[in-house]
Amino acid sequence: MKKILVANRGEIAIRVMKTAQKMGIKTVAVFSKADRDAPHVKYADEAVCIGEAPSNQSYLRGDKIIEVAKSLQVDAIHPGYGFLSENASFSELCETHNIIFIGPKPKAIKIMGSKLAAKEAVKAYNIPMVPGVEKAITDVNKAKAIATDIGFPILIKASAGGGGKGMRIVEKASDLESQMNRAISEATSAFGDGSVFIEKYVASPRHIEIQVMADSYGNVIHFFERECSIQRRHQKVVEEAPSSILTEELRNDMGQAAIRVAKACDYLGAGTVEFLLDADHNFYFLEMNTRLQVEHPVSELISGVDLVELQIKIARGEPLNITQEDLSINGHALELRVYAEDPMNDFLPSVGTLEVYKVPKGKGIRVDNGFEEDMEIPIYYDPMLAKLITYGKTREEAIELMIQAIENYQIKGVQSTLAFGKFVCEHEAFRSGNFDTHFVKNYYSPSILEEQIKDESKLAALIALNQYIKDQKTLRLPN
């Protein structure tokens, strides 16, 4: 493998290219017209424009990406995450053109891309599942009978989706019909597939996921868990590894369950098996993401393994060179997704120019970044600017370092999630480890954050005034 095309943009494109470069592999960037001056374009050995700004005219054009790959004699394509990373047709297209797709085979992507097909696939592998129906349902009366049987509250979920789309919590039978119609409509609009299913709603859950890696020789290992319970709109914002509440026994049980899920679909490469953990520490299979996750750096830091390097080695046919026994958890890592979003306004995207953009540096601080000062934030893509990751010997150390790093991260011109990240890290529920996926609903409001920022501004002004008075006294001292 001498040349890899990275079919993505921003921080993940650079992240993949760094490892490829380290391995002596040349890189090709593809970019839209909106990203012409983006850092990932400059970082690659070669770069080709593939279309207009909207992703359906550029980053989602698998045919154009294959065309570029063939013209530049590319051996493999790394899809990153998002865009074409979980597109079975694109994986097949790569195979057709004898280009290695650095990811799972189309069959695994198809199975795990449908929550219903995934449940069916893992059923025979003794994987704990949330009680519910395992077939798509559209009949409201039938849905009511099922919901009454498993007991309210229930969750209506889109089979084809993720990111909270097509998902509705229903507390009582009288709300079922309207919520079901909304879920079907939303799922049809977002995924072109209105299939929904019903399962028991797990109250106060934690969102725990297991990083797995599988080679083409039947070896599957896991890299422990990530805690992903701090979310807004069902999407993660703060992640950490390891989780503060898993015992060694539970960690092992969940790890082995994740390995069985991977085996259930003949998995290849890096993947993540997601679980819900209830208040009694029972865990249930949620879904499998058939790609590298945004939050993979925290697993890399606690395991000491470059997961992208392993992905590439597996894709070129090498067996895993480490066993489960070789792996252990060392220290603690925390990640904040730095989005150009306004936490004061329901986390809506914030567009504009990065008038000031300076990332923090120092021991234990890692920034996977995709932007530079004076860049415009394009409205066409996910608004994530970077991932801020901190690593310490203990969870407490990683949290304190994160607060310090947030304070040293300078962004002006757009709103960002930095202040929200600091709010999380300073909150007693998070620091104690006693939190769940309802953290934002239970503890956060824009007014609380606004008050906190005002207090910090007052304190900073007082410190500055005190320093000014001291300086004036010094200046007045006689020679």
Neighbours of 194 (CB within 10 A): 19
Spatial contact of 125 and 263, defined as CB atoms under 8 Å apart: yes
Nearest of 357, 324, 322 to residue 340 by alpha carbon: 357
Distance in angstroms (rounded) separating the CA atoms of residues 329 and 244: 13
Find all residues with CB under 8 Å of 428, minimum gap 6, and list them. none
440 contacts 423 by C-beta, under 8 angstroms: no
Is 291 a residue of the active site? yes
In order of 33, 46, 101, 137, the CA distances from 57 in angstroms are 10, 20, 21, 34
Of 121, 87, 80, 84, whose CA–CA distance to 105 is shortest? 87
The count of residues in the chain is: 479
Closest CA to 351 of 50, 29, 31, 53: 53
**Residue partners of 126: CB distance under 8 A and separation at least 6:** 260
Q: Which two tokens stand for residue 273?
A: 């098996």
CB 203 within 8 A of CB 153: yes
C-alpha 361/C-alpha 471 separation (Å) is: 29
Q: What are phi and psi of 192, to 5 degrees?
A: 70, 15
Tokens representing 256 are 């082995």
Task: Identify the active-site residue in 226, 232, 291, 395.
Answer: 291
- Give the residue numbers marked as catalytic: 291
